[in-house]
Structure 1
């Protein structure tokens, strides 16, 4: 197991195999709270990781997650599918009216996830563009200028206060009510959990839609065989693209710190050591996946860990999958030949963000 140097000079252990990364996610001796905490870094989501679900260990993490999980059950997500399909169709109508070419991010991949997660949280329609701006600030580079992310957290705090004063039938109201019943949960934690869920609930999905289409354009043989009118085929494609695509800027999910000496991958790791779970390499592990560097949209089974595993498995994974299935299926079905309208070398990614985010994605299609 390789050792690597972090930006502050700390030596960390890099887990790259599927089995080792899965164990880092599931073994409580690899602690997220210890990796965040008051001495945690002001980078990779900054202090948001200290107090949100990202930085909690059981049993606190279990208590908080239980409240949130009610909004993301498979039944509730499936109950939203028809509405999401209608939203996607309306957004593709506007994309068609604007082009070709037209910016996929402006018309589809950005507004769809923010609309869905805002509906779950009871965010008023007039506030949704601002929530997206605040979320963008949170996933920006805290090292370069921590001012905008901290201002965004303050803005999310005001949103929480408004919901406390005027509760409704939504996830944010449920979170506030549950929080206010506890004596040992802080307001800062409530704001961080809310901000983390809102940001995570749309930022990743937006960029998955964009990156999925780029990868499909690079693999025309796979795209040609994808039946967009077959929900099963689209669902398998979404899983394979999730495995194949590097969504995070580093390919490494949030680090853990060992709470005691532990053996991993044949290496004894001392207590207090940082361990980095390399999800991208784990999803290309030849011991688990046949021809791991090949995109195979019919791959089954597909035990990827793109959404994590264990206590910190992405709580919105079912919602993200449903949105990706509806968006990908409708785009390919309604816009034959959908592809980038400019050479990939001309596309630009936003600098200093945790998720690989394109500035814009001009697309064209066959009319």
Structure 2
């Protein structure tokens, strides 16, 4: 019987609760070849170098060009009639699409977009925590932090940002789940996963097409309206590209933040001294530092599975990755690399010079980072302040199937009640 590789053990769901000892083993060989023929890179400096290396392409069409087993993807995208999303392209195509999206999302053209949503974010969080009070009467209350809080909060926010009706959540969530499943390397070969992903994105794009067709009157102030109305010096974005990128942003805009909030509360409950500091509220920058350390210590995206292709032979840590090879970058392993960060397995929000790979890096640095940071900061701060004596019911909790988008499927917590919302200056 063949010996199970470290990478196979990492993918095995039985290790989902704590993959970090396996990542330490993986880092002993910075580049390994996986059973599917892809190359897995796990050390910090090597990952950073590759994220900035133009010889590593994000355009999945190169997999077909170099004759890998993902050659069916190009035909699948053609049949769907959609161009790749902007994260599946390289500069300069990527840069133009990203500029158009950024024009309607954030600085320097819309510097107030996220800031203007802070009040609404606080209102959503306050309402959801208020609902906890009615679940258990005057005694002990049991809540599922994922279903009751970490999921509905970012879904509501991304719907507001994109201009999607919140009532449509049951419809688009099934398609979103299909996109996430397609990214799971345990669910088939590269070509099969790419076909499923293309189909799921196409279904979401069809949803957005129907949504836009049903709109009447002047454009709204949401991101989708901005893209369709053609604001910006390089506008308009082609209609099909609007659809594919809107589908991507809807999925990415909540799936990862759900994990970040759930992983964050789980970590705080395991580190009650930090939770107490956050509850006291006398350290103005503590919440921001907690979020940055969570992105390093328990990131929602553990690795980018077969998301890059080499355009040339590339030597990495003494190993030559041949031209045309799929590459997986294990961001979570890199962020805990002891050759880069001291005492990496300790959760320490007071860590100085906290550089991490929680949002990736290079040209494809996470587009939604400016939104995910305040969402998580507000969520964890309000939970810490208002929940009375929160404690875990089950540790470790059950985890979602995906090894790459890693987070609790449920996070059961018992509380002794809910305190009043904080008084804030107008």
Alpha-carbon contact 1:67-1:175 (below 8 Å) kept: yes
- Structure 2 distance, partners of 1:240, 1:306, is 9
Residue 40 (structure 1) aligned to one of 70, 90, 104: 70
Residue 78 (structure 1) aligned to one of 115, 130, 135: 115
Superposed, 1:136-175 pairs within 5 Å as 136-141=177-182, 143=187, 150=199, 153-164=202-213, 166=215, 167-175=219-227
- Provide structure 2 residue ranges, at least 5 long, that are not aligned to the other structure: 1-29, 418-426
Alpha-carbon contact 1:226-1:297 (below 8 Å) kept: no
Residue 294 (structure 2) aligned to one of 241, 261, 272: 241
1:27 aligns with 2:53: yes
Distance of aligned partners of 1:29 and 1:228 in 2 relative to their CA distance in 1, 3 Å threshold: farther
Superposed, 1:141-220 pairs within 5 Å as 141=182, 143=187, 150=199, 153-164=202-213, 166=215, 167-178=219-230, 187=240, 189-220=241-272
Distance of aligned partners of 1:287 and 1:5 in 2 relative to their CA distance in 1, 3 Å threshold: closer
- Structure 1 distance, partners of 2:169, 2:154, is 11
Using the size of structure 2 for normalisation, the TM-score is 0.74
Range moving further from structure 2, 262-271 or 289-298: 262-271
Alpha-carbon contact 1:212-1:241 (below 8 Å) kept: yes
1:67 aligns with 2:100: yes
CA deviations over 1:255-291 (Å, ceiling 9, x no partner): 3222123333344433223332121111012233121
CA deviations over 1:117-150 (Å, ceiling 9, x no partner): 1111111232234233321222124747977983
Deviation at 1:165, TM superposition (A): 5.4
CA RMSD of aligned residues (A): 3.2
- Structure 1 distance, partners of 2:198, 2:56, is 28
SS at match of 2:40: strand
- Structure 2 distance, partners of 1:64, 1:252, is 21
SS at match of 1:336: coil
Residue 365 (structure 1) aligned to one of 415, 421, 426: 415
Using the size of structure 1 for normalisation, the TM-score is 0.85
1:334 aligns with 2:386: yes
Which has more radius of gyration? 2
Q: Which residue of 1 aligns with 2:4?
A: none
- Structure 1 distance, partners of 2:248, 2:227, is 13
Distance of aligned partners of 1:237 and 1:356 in 2 relative to their CA distance in 1, 3 Å threshold: same
- Provide structure 1 residue ranges, at least 5 long, that are not aligned to the other structure: none
SS at match of 1:24: helix
Distance of aligned partners of 1:2 and 1:50 in 2 relative to their CA distance in 1, 3 Å threshold: farther
Q: Which residue of 2 aligns with 1:95?
A: 132
Alpha-carbon contact 1:141-1:352 (below 8 Å) kept: no
Distance of aligned partners of 1:42 and 1:271 in 2 relative to their CA distance in 1, 3 Å threshold: closer
SS at match of 1:102: strand
- Structure 1 distance, partners of 2:353, 2:199, is 42
Deviation at 1:113, TM superposition (A): 0.5
Deviation at 1:300, TM superposition (A): 2.2
SS at match of 2:90: coil
SS at match of 1:101: strand
1:261 aligns with 2:316: no
Q: Which residue of 2 aligns with 1:13?
A: 39
Alpha-carbon contact 1:29-1:259 (below 8 Å) kept: yes
SS at match of 2:39: strand
Range moving further from structure 2, 260-269 or 61-70: 260-269
Range moving further from structure 2, 203-212 or 14-23: 14-23
Deviation at 1:4, TM superposition (A): 1.8
- Structure 1 distance, partners of 2:384, 2:72, is 40
Alpha-carbon contact 1:164-1:176 (below 8 Å) kept: no
Residue 3 (structure 1) aligned to one of 29, 32, 57: 32
- Structure 2 distance, partners of 1:234, 1:207, is 17
